[in-house]
Structure 1
Amino acid sequence: MEGRGVPEIISTAVSDIAEIKLTEKGYFIYAYTVQLYHSSLRQFWRAAPLSDRCRELTEKYLDGLSYVNYNVLVTDWDSSNVEDILMPCMFEDLYRMDTGEILRPENGEIPAEVYERIMTTHFPVTKERIREICGYRADTDSYPYEIIFSSPYPPFGEVVGDKENPDGTLTLFVDEVWPDYNSDCAFTNIITVQPFDDGTFRYLSNSIEKKELEIPGVYDMK
């Protein structure tokens, strides 16, 4: 620590706590008597950490996906009805997960080559169906960029177990943590993915089951 200084406390604050909850999974969830400006409904810490494997699987397959902006994680689907969950607004999150970069569309458009590569890599769907569903523009060979207006207080998922299948696929068992509504298992997902040798992967199916809270509303794309 030589040359790096000594940490000091420069200020403190005291707030009254209205409620405290320590869950069996190890989440410490609490709420202030007076909610702070621009804060969540409740604050939380994970006192008992996930295993290294569960944390790695969560970071690879779940971090960046939303439970409230599109339907990937809040409906039951597989290859027979995957078209029901394909929405243009999900592309921005998939792009960030795939490339590690922020999407920067030009003139509100995304090149078809980029859009179709990412969508067909991560879902069991053809380029032709993507063009029919997601607003392909033949005159510019592109897709429209759809802005996501984030909803407040969304849940997030964490992998709590997994199973390697004989066909090379991986089944993830996921708990949805929703601290703002005082739950560390609001509902659960069973997600099947196909890992590829180049490090990419494809989501093959999702099933969801209500536990402590109602499942977030499904977007109607019609």
Structure 2
Amino acid sequence: MQRIKKAVKYGVVLAAALFLAGCSEGQKSDVQTDRQEDVQEDAGAGYDLPIDEEEREEAEQECAAMLELVKEIYQEAVGTDAGRVLTADEAEAMAAMIAGQGDPVTTFDIYQDMKNYEAMDAFLLDCENGRSGEITEYEVYKDGSIGRKKFVCDGEELYVLSVTASWRSGDAKAMGEMSYTRAEEWDYTEKGWFFYKLCTPGYPEVTEVLYSNAMLRVKPYDAECAEISRKYLEPVAYEGNNLLWSDWDPENMAGIDYNGLFQYLYELDSGETFDSSLYTEGIPAEQFESLMTNYLPVTAEQLREYASYDAESGTYAWIALGVGNRTKSVIDLSEPEAVDVEENGDGTVTLTVEAVSEGTMDDTVLTHRLTVRFTGDGGIVFLGNQVEGNTLEKMPEYVYRIQE
């Protein structure tokens, strides 16, 4: 897929400063701390940029006003349970209310369309063509807080002014720390994904790389594909299991990481968060095999052969995902996005799925064709997966959850 790339331009004068401040990916430099502080104070560092007092006041007032606007929806949703998170539908209702003010609005649900997307689309296209402008966008988060981001383009560089408003006890509002930062790089793809990476401090100010990537869906997404992705693909995704990024079919089931897959099928099946403390002694065979055979064309006998199974205790091994059993790959934290639905003559459906990676700012890290059957009770059976091209050859070898 042809992609539209936009890299931030750096001047010769600023090159050394950005190199030291973390806006560059170059080799670390042994500079003195006082020199590093001087660079940070310079606007060329790209982060902790000065904020005009009038701009600050406007951002806080507008963000607080949006929080107040959706107060009734929020209170009805969470009730007295301050720790409860919003459902996708509740967040959508809040977004619709805010969108009535005319600004673009998104939620934490990446499969939900951006409200008033036309304005954001026009702004980004103008930025690509070197035209200056600005736009304010709001985001509804899972905890019910509201984020306000003002994107400013000066014709060359893109900047982000960000602040968040949330509820404390009662009717008290809390404003998060405001930041004004330059985008180190950004990308607006033909599919409508807006990726950006903000400038952050570098060595020696910090010793670990700070994650500053973000992505927003701008252009509308097909409703059928969105529902399939949200309901059936996102719960499984690519982290901690290889169901969607390995080649398999009913005749070739041995390579699936069944022990790693269990927790994700559990959440897909129950709609509840997986509680690993319940399985410290292993997963009972009846529960494990019932779940797997319900979602995959595999038998209990095959599971005992292919998965890590202890016949003496009658349990399948379980261990949480950690450093030693995690595959270090860009696909690991990517999100599955169905882009085509093809009905087959035998009642099955083949989905074309693309993995979207915020970390690498790529909306097609991997493409695979997933064959499924939707059941009459709203369920799904996964029947086979085929990764297109030679993508798997370029990726690290998959690390199985249980090391034997």
Q: Shorter-chain-normalised TM-score: which range?
A: 0.7 to 0.9
Question: Which residue is 1:59 aligned to?
Answer: 230
**1:70 matches 2:241:** yes
For normalisation by structure 2, the TM-score amounts to 0.49
Question: Which residue is 1:209 aligned to?
Answer: 388
Question: Which residue is 1:193 aligned to?
Answer: 372
1:114 Cα deviation from its structure 2 partner: 1.1
In 2, Cα distance between equivalents of 1:140 and 1:78: 30
Unaligned stretches of 5+ residues in structure 1: none
In 2, Cα distance between equivalents of 1:187 and 1:86: 19
In 2, Cα distance between equivalents of 1:69 and 1:93: 9
In 1, Cα distance between equivalents of 2:371 and 2:223: 20
1:111 Cα deviation from its structure 2 partner: 1.6
SS state at 1:14 partner = strand
Confirm or deny: 8 A CA contact 1:187 1:211 kept in the other structure: no
Structure 2: which amino acid aligns with 1:89?
A: G
Question: 1:8-23 alignment to 2 at 5 Å?
Answer: 10=175, 12-23=178-189
Question: Which residue is 2:282 aligned to?
Answer: 109
Percentage of identical aligned residues:
30
More moved, 16-25 vs 79-88 = 79-88
Question: Which residue is 2:335 aligned to?
Answer: 156
Q: 1:128 aligns with which of 284, 288, 301?
A: 301
In 1, Cα distance between equivalents of 2:268 and 2:201: 33
Superposed CA offset, 1:159-193 (max 9, x none): 11101212111111111111211211122111000
**1:31 matches 2:197:** yes
| Distance change >3 Å, CA 201–CA 95, structure 1 → 2 | same
In 2, Cα distance between equivalents of 1:176 and 1:18: 23
Whose helix proportion is higher, 1 or 2? 2
| Distance change >3 Å, CA 110–CA 213, structure 1 → 2 | closer
More moved, 110-119 vs 58-67 = 58-67
Confirm or deny: 8 A CA contact 1:163 1:172 kept in the other structure: yes
Question: Which residue is 1:177 aligned to?
Answer: 356
In 2, Cα distance between equivalents of 1:99 and 1:210: 34
Question: Which residue is 1:165 aligned to?
Answer: 344
SS state at 1:70 partner = coil
Confirm or deny: 8 A CA contact 1:162 1:173 kept in the other structure: yes
For normalisation by structure 1, the TM-score amounts to 0.85
Unaligned stretches of 5+ residues in structure 2: 1-68, 76-145, 147-163, 166-174, 203-207
1:138 Cα deviation from its structure 2 partner: 3.0
1:145 Cα deviation from its structure 2 partner: 1.4
Larger radius of gyration: 2
SS state at 2:262 partner = helix
Structure 1: which amino acid aligns with 2:363?
A: D
Confirm or deny: 8 A CA contact 1:58 1:158 kept in the other structure: yes
Superposed CA offset, 1:129-174 (max 9, x none): 1112223333332222122125586211101110121211111111
Structure 2: which amino acid aligns with 1:122?
A: Y
Structure 1: which amino acid aligns with 2:343?
A: E
SS state at 2:248 partner = coil
Confirm or deny: 8 A CA contact 2:280 2:319 kept in the other structure: no
Aligned residue pair count = 222
1:210 Cα deviation from its structure 2 partner: 4.4
Which structure has more relative contact order (CA 8 Å, sep 6+)? It is 1
In 2, Cα distance between equivalents of 1:80 and 1:89: 21
In 2, Cα distance between equivalents of 1:3 and 1:48: 28
Runs of 4+ with deviation above 3 angstroms? 1-5, 7-11, 35-41, 150-153, 210-216
Superposed CA offset, 1:88-114 (max 9, x none): 111111111111123332443212111
1:61 Cα deviation from its structure 2 partner: 2.2
